[in-house]
Amino acid sequence: MSIAIDYAPPARRLRQQASRDDLVKLGFMAVIGLYLIVALGAPLFVMLSKSLSTYRFDLSAFEFQVSDETGANWATAVTADALNKELGVVAKKDLATNSDGRLAVTKFFPQFNFRSPVHYRIRGVTDDAAFLVGSTLEKGTAWREYDSAAFRRVVLRPASSLGIENFKTYFSTPALARSIYNSVLMASISTVVTVSIAFALAYALTRSCMPLKGLFRGILTIPILVPSLLPGIALVYLFGNQGVFRDWLMGYSIYGPIGIVIGSVFFTLPHAFLIILTALSVADARHYEAAASLRASKWRTFTTVTVPGARYGLVSAAFVVFTLVITDFGLPKVIGGQYGMLAVDIYKQVIGQQNFEMGAVVSVILLVPAVLAFAVDRRMQKRQVALLSARAVPYAPKRNVRMDGFCFAFACLVSLFILGMIAMCQIAALVKFWPYDLTLTTKNFAFDLMDGGGWAAYANSIKLALLTAFFGSVIVFAGAYMVEKADGFRFGRSVFHFLAMMPMAVPGMVLGLAYIFFFNNPANPLNSIYGTMTILVVCTVTHFYTVAHLTALTALKQMDPEFESVGASLKQPFHRLFFRVTLPVCLPAILNIGIYLFVNAMTTVSAVVFLYAADTKLASVAVLNMDDAGDIAPAAAMGMMIFYTNVVAKLIHAVVSRGLLARTQAWR
Amino acid sequence: MRHAMSIEPTPTSIHRAADQGTTPSSPYLEIRDLWKSYGDFVALRDISLGIGKGEFVCFLGPSGCGKTTLLRAIAGLDLQTRGVIWQGGRDISILPASKRDYGIVFQSYALFPNLTIEQNIAFGLENTGRSKAEVAARVAELLETVGLSAHGKKYPAQLSGGQQQRIALARAIAISPGLLLLDEPLSALDAKVRVHLRHEIKALQRKLGVTTIMVTHDQEEALAMADRIVVMNHGVIEQVGSPTEIYRHPKTLFVADFIGETNQFPARVLPDGQVEIGHSAFCCPTDGFAAGAATTAVVRPVDIIPHGAEAHAVHSLDRPATPQNLIDAEVHVMEFLGMFWRTRLTAPRLGDRTLVADFSVNAVRRLRIETGGVIQVEIPRERLLLYPRGI
Ligand SMILES: Nc1ncnc2c1ncn2[C@@H]1O[C@H](COP(=O)(O)OP(=O)(O)O)[C@@H](O)[C@H]1O
Ligand SMILES: [Mg+2]
Q: Per residue in A142-154, pLDDT tens?
A: 888 888 888 888 9
Q: What is the rounded CA–CA span in Å between residue A222 and residue B380?
A: 83
Query: Is residue B152 one of the residues assigned to a domain?
Result: no
Kindly state whether residues A391 and A532 are assigned to the same domain: yes
* Burial class of residue B170, CB neighbours in 10 A (0-12, 13-18, 19+): buried
Kindly state whether residues A177 and A139 are assigned to the same domain: no
- Give the model's confidence band at A55: pLDDT under 50 very low, under 70 low, under 90 confident, else very high: confident
Kindly state whether residues B190 and B205 are assigned to the same domain: yes
* Burial class of residue B6, CB neighbours in 10 A (0-12, 13-18, 19+): exposed
Q: What is the rounded CA–CA span in Å between residue A552 and residue A505?
A: 19
Q: Whose Cα sits closest to atom 17 in ligand 1?
A: B66
Kindly state whether residues A566 and A658 are assigned to the same domain: yes
Cβ-based contacts of B75 with chain A (< 8 Å):
565, 569
* DSSP 8-state assignment for residue A437: E
Of A14, A562, A572, the CB nearest to B81: A14
- Inter-axis angle of helices A533-543 and A583-603, nearest 10: 110
Q: How many CA atoms lie within 13 A of B302 on its CB side?
A: 13
* Burial class of residue B20, CB neighbours in 10 A (0-12, 13-18, 19+): exposed
pLDDT in tens, A110-164: 888 888 888 899 998 888 888 888 888 888 888 888 888 888 889 988 888 777 8
- Give the model's confidence band at B5: pLDDT under 50 very low, under 70 low, under 90 confident, else very high: very low
B35, B37, B38: residue to mutate for ligand 1 pocket, most atoms within 8 A of CB: B38
- Inter-axis angle of helices A533-543 and A454-485, nearest 10: 50
For B119, the closest chain A residue by CA position comes to A580
8 Å CB contact between A654 and A595? no
Q: What is the rounded CA–CA span in Å between residue B331 and residue B309?
A: 11
> How many percent of chain A have pLDDT more than 90?
26
Kindly state whether residues A124 and A65 are assigned to the same domain: yes
Query: Is residue B110 one of the residues assigned to a domain?
Result: no
- Give the model's confidence band at A528: pLDDT under 50 very low, under 70 low, under 90 confident, else very high: confident
* DSSP 8-state assignment for residue A211: S
Angle in degrees, CA A277, A280, A284, rounded to 5: 150
What average pLDDT does the segment A176-202 reach? 92
What average pLDDT does the segment B192-199 reach? 89
Q: Whose Cα sits closest to atom 18 in ligand 1?
A: B68
Q: Name the phi and psi angles at B58, rounded to 5.
A: -110, 135
Q: Which of B258, B283, B312 is the last residue of a domain?
A: B258
B65 lines ligand 1 (CB under 6 A): yes
What average pLDDT does the segment A528-553 reach? 91
Give pLDDT, residue B101.
Answer: 93
- Give the model's confidence band at A22: pLDDT under 50 very low, under 70 low, under 90 confident, else very high: confident
* Cβ–Cβ gap A568/B94 under 8 Å: no
Kindly state whether residues A575 and A646 are assigned to the same domain: yes
Give pLDDT, residue A296.
Answer: 67
Residue B58 has pLDDT above 90, yes or no: yes
> By C-alpha distance, which of A51, A49, A37 is closest to A542?
A37
Kindly state whether residues A111 and A179 are assigned to the same domain: no
Residues of A near B (Cβ–Cβ under 8 Å) read 1-3, 5, 8-9, 11-19, 21-22, 560, 562-563, 565-573, 576, 580-581, 584-585, 664-668
DSSP B337-359: -SSEEEEEEEEGGGTTEEEEEEE
Amino acid present at A416: L
Q: What is the mean pLDDT of chain A?
A: 85
DSSP A212-280: -HHHHHHHHTGGGGS-THHHHHHHHHHHSTT-TTGGGGTT--STTHHHHHHHHHHHHHHHHHHHHHHHH
Query: Is residue A41 one of the residues assigned to a domain?
Result: no
- Give the model's confidence band at A666: pLDDT under 50 very low, under 70 low, under 90 confident, else very high: low
> By C-alpha distance, which of A157, A178, A34, A29 is closest to A98?
A157
Among A1, A583, A664, A668, which would you mutate to test the B interface (most chain B Cβ atoms within 10 Å of its Cβ)?
A: A1
8 Å CB contact between A487 and A568? no
* Cβ–Cβ gap B172/A569 under 8 Å: yes
Residue B341 to chain A, least CA–CA distance (Å) = 33
Kindly state whether residues B198 and B347 are assigned to the same domain: no
Query: Is residue B252 one of the residues assigned to a domain?
Result: yes
Q: Which of B230, B258, B286 is the last residue of a domain?
A: B258
B43 lines ligand 1 (CB under 6 A): yes
Residue A650 has pLDDT above 90, yes or no: yes
Q: Which stretch of A23-32, B295-304, B316-325, B347-356 has the lowest confidence by average pLDDT? A: B316-325
Residue B17 to chain A, least CA–CA distance (Å) = 14
User: Measured in Å, how far apart are chain B's first and last C-alpha atoms?
Assistant: 30
Query: Is residue A85 one of the residues assigned to a domain?
Result: yes
Q: Which stretch of A377-391, A452-466, A555-569, B137-151 has the lowest confidence by average pLDDT? A: A377-391
Q: What is the rounded CA–CA span in Å between residue A254 and residue A236?
A: 7
* Cβ–Cβ gap B106/A14 under 8 Å: no
CATH of the domain at B349: 2.40.50.100
- Give the model's confidence band at A9: pLDDT under 50 very low, under 70 low, under 90 confident, else very high: low
Cβ-based contacts of B108 with chain A (< 8 Å):
560, 562
pLDDT in tens, B231-287: 999 999 999 999 999 999 999 999 999 988 899 999 999 988 889 998 889 998 888
Query: Is residue B373 one of the residues assigned to a domain?
Result: yes
- Give the model's confidence band at B18: pLDDT under 50 very low, under 70 low, under 90 confident, else very high: very low
Cβ-based contacts of B46 with chain A (< 8 Å):
3, 5
Give pLDDT, residue A293.
Answer: 67
Query: Is residue A22 one of the residues assigned to a domain?
Result: no
Kindly state whether residues B208 and B278 are assigned to the same domain: no
B65, B78, B215: residue to mutate for ligand 1 pocket, most atoms within 8 A of CB: B65
Query: Is residue B302 one of the residues assigned to a domain?
Result: yes
* DSSP 8-state assignment for residue B27: P
- Give the model's confidence band at B17: pLDDT under 50 very low, under 70 low, under 90 confident, else very high: very low
Interface contact B257, partner A, CB < 8 A: no
Sequence-distant (≥ 6) Cβ neighbours of residue B386 within 8 angstroms: B267, B269, B275, B284, B285, B286, B289, B295, B296, B297, B298
Q: Whose Cα sits closest to atom 24 in ligand 1?
A: B64
Query: Is residue B278 one of the residues assigned to a domain?
Result: yes
Query: Is residue A505 one of the residues assigned to a domain?
Result: yes
B64 lines ligand 1 (CB under 6 A): yes
- Give the model's confidence band at B86: pLDDT under 50 very low, under 70 low, under 90 confident, else very high: very high
Cβ-based contacts of A588 with chain B (< 8 Å):
none
B80 lines ligand 1 (CB under 6 A): no
Of B46, B75, B80, the CB nearest to A5: B46
Kindly state whether residues A209 and A80 are assigned to the same domain: no
pLDDT in tens, A628-647: 888 888 889 999 999 999 99
> How many percent of chain B have pLDDT more than 70?
90
Kindly state whether residues B280 and B376 are assigned to the same domain: yes
Q: What is the rounded CA–CA span in Å between residue A116 and residue A150?
A: 11
Q: Which residues of B199-218 are buried (b: 16+ CB within 10 A; e: fewer)?
A: ebbbebbeeeebbbbbbbbb
CATH of the domain at A244: 1.10.3720.10
Interface contact B153, partner A, CB < 8 A: no
Interface contact B112, partner A, CB < 8 A: yes
What average pLDDT does the segment A187-210 reach? 91
Residue A663 to chain B, least CA–CA distance (Å) = 11
Q: Name the phi and psi angles at A52, rounded to 5.
A: -100, 0
CATH of the domain at B56: 3.40.50.300
> By C-alpha distance, which of A264, A274, A307, A267 is closest to A198?
A274
Q: Which stretch of A164-168, B194-198, B316-320 has the lowest confidence by average pLDDT? A: B316-320
Q: Tell how far the Cα of B227 is from the centroid of ligand 2, in angstroms.
A: 20
Cβ-based contacts of A560 with chain B (< 8 Å):
106, 108, 110
Question: Quick check: helix, strand or coil at residue A667?
Answer: coil
Q: Tell how far the Cα of B188 is from the centroid of ligand 2, in angstroms.
A: 12
CB atoms < 10 A from the CB of A226, how many? 27
Of B97, B99, B236, the CB nearest to A565: B97
Which numbered ligand comes closest to the C-alpha of B182? Answer: 2
Cβ-based contacts of B76 with chain A (< 8 Å):
16, 568
Domain that holds residue A535: 169-664
Q: What is the rounded CA–CA span in Å between residue A297 and residue A317?
A: 27
Residue B172 has pLDDT above 90, yes or no: yes
What average pLDDT does the segment A644-666 reach? 85
Q: What is the rounded CA–CA span in Å between residue B263 and residue A101?
A: 92
Kindly state whether residues B85 and B202 are assigned to the same domain: yes
* Cβ–Cβ gap B114/A584 under 8 Å: yes
Kindly state whether residues B229 and B254 are assigned to the same domain: yes
Give pLDDT, residue A24.
Answer: 85
Cβ-based contacts of A563 with chain B (< 8 Å):
110, 112
ipTM of the complex: 0.81
Of A19, A560, A668, the CB nearest to B99: A19
- Pairs across A and B, CB distance < 8 A: 121
Q: Which residues of B367-388 are buried (b: 16+ CB within 10 A; e: fewer)?
A: bebeeeeebbbbbbbebbbbbe
Give pLDDT, residue B7.
Answer: 36
Give pLDDT, residue B313.
Answer: 45
B62 lines ligand 1 (CB under 6 A): no
- Give the model's confidence band at B319: pLDDT under 50 very low, under 70 low, under 90 confident, else very high: low
Query: Is residue B279 one of the residues assigned to a domain?
Result: yes
Kindly state whether residues B248 and B270 are assigned to the same domain: no
Kindly state whether residues B195 and B79 are assigned to the same domain: yes
Give pLDDT, residue A390.
Answer: 44
8 Å CB contact between B255 and B231? yes
80-99 in B: which are within 8 Å (CB) of A? Answer: 80-82, 93-99
Question: Quick check: helix, strand or coil at residue B369?
Answer: coil
What average pLDDT does the segment B145-159 reach? 90
Q: Name the phi and psi angles at A660, rounded to 5.
A: -65, -40
* Cβ–Cβ gap A560/B108 under 8 Å: yes
Q: Which of B208, B235, B258 is the last residue of a domain?
A: B258
Q: Which of A121, A137, A162 is the last residue of a domain?
A: A162
Q: Which is more confidently placed, A393 or B19? A: A393
Kindly state whether residues B315 and B205 are assigned to the same domain: no
Give pLDDT, residue B182.
Answer: 95
Q: Which of A110, A128, A162 is the last residue of a domain?
A: A162
Q: Whose Cα sits closest to atom 4 in ligand 1?
A: B38
Kindly state whether residues A274 and A343 are assigned to the same domain: yes
Question: Quick check: helix, strand or coil at residue B304?
Answer: coil
Q: Tell how far the Cα of B79 is from the centroid of ligand 1, in angstroms.
A: 13
Which numbered ligand comes closest to the C-alpha of B39? Answer: 1
Split into its structural domains, chain A has a count of 2
Kindly state whether residues A277 and A350 are assigned to the same domain: yes
User: Measured in Å, how far apart are chain A's first and last C-alpha atoms?
Assistant: 51
Split into its structural domains, chain B has a count of 2
* Cβ–Cβ gap B175/A571 under 8 Å: yes
What average pLDDT does the segment A329-356 reach? 87
What average pLDDT does the segment A455-462 reach? 91
Cβ-based contacts of A5 with chain B (< 8 Å):
45-46
Of B35, B112, B127, the CB nearest to A9: B35
Ligand 1, residue B215: give the atom nearest the CA: 23
Q: Which stretch of A63-72, A448-457, B3-12 has the lowest confidence by average pLDDT? A: B3-12
CA distances from A314 to A191, A369, A410, A580 (A): 11, 18, 19, 40
8 Å CB contact between B215 and B182? yes
Interface contact B113, partner A, CB < 8 A: yes
pLDDT in tens, A391-429: 445 567 777 888 888 899 999 999 999 999 999 889 888
| Ligand 2 ion: residues within 5 Å (CB) | B 68
Ligand 1, residue B72: give the atom nearest the CA: 17
> How many percent of chain A have pLDDT more than 70?
91
Query: Is residue B121 one of the residues assigned to a domain?
Result: no
Of A14, A569, A667, the CB nearest to B103: A569
Amino acid present at B257: D
Q: Which stretch of A65-74, A482-491, B309-318 has the lowest confidence by average pLDDT? A: B309-318
- Give the model's confidence band at A488: pLDDT under 50 very low, under 70 low, under 90 confident, else very high: low
Q: What is the rounded CA–CA span in Å between residue A438 and residue A633?
A: 12
Q: What is the rounded CA–CA span in Å between residue A627 and residue A237?
A: 12
The region, left, alpha or beta by phi > 0 then psi within -120 to 50, assigned to residue A397 is beta
Kindly state whether residues B187 and B97 are assigned to the same domain: yes
Q: What is the rounded CA–CA span in Å between residue B368 and residue B307?
A: 10
Q: What is the rounded CA–CA span in Å between residue B37 and residue B45?
A: 8
Kindly state whether residues A374 and A429 are assigned to the same domain: yes
Kindly state whether residues B271 and B235 are assigned to the same domain: no
Question: Quick check: helix, strand or coil at residue B329?
Answer: strand
Query: Is residue A528 one of the residues assigned to a domain?
Result: yes
Kindly state whether residues B369 and B329 are assigned to the same domain: yes
Q: Which stretch of A598-612, B8-22, B102-116 has the lowest confidence by average pLDDT? A: B8-22
Q: Which of A162, A196, A217 is the last residue of a domain?
A: A162
Domain that holds residue B85: 2-102+177-258
pLDDT in tens, B348-371: 888 878 999 999 998 998 888 889
What average pLDDT does the segment B82-88 reach? 93
Query: Is residue A402 one of the residues assigned to a domain?
Result: yes
Kindly state whether residues A145 and A226 are assigned to the same domain: no
Q: What is the rounded CA–CA span in Å between residue A367 and residue A411?
A: 35
Kindly state whether residues A510 and A622 are assigned to the same domain: yes
* DSSP 8-state assignment for residue A559: S
* Cβ–Cβ gap A580/B112 under 8 Å: yes
- Inter-axis angle of helices A454-485 and A619-628, nearest 10: 130
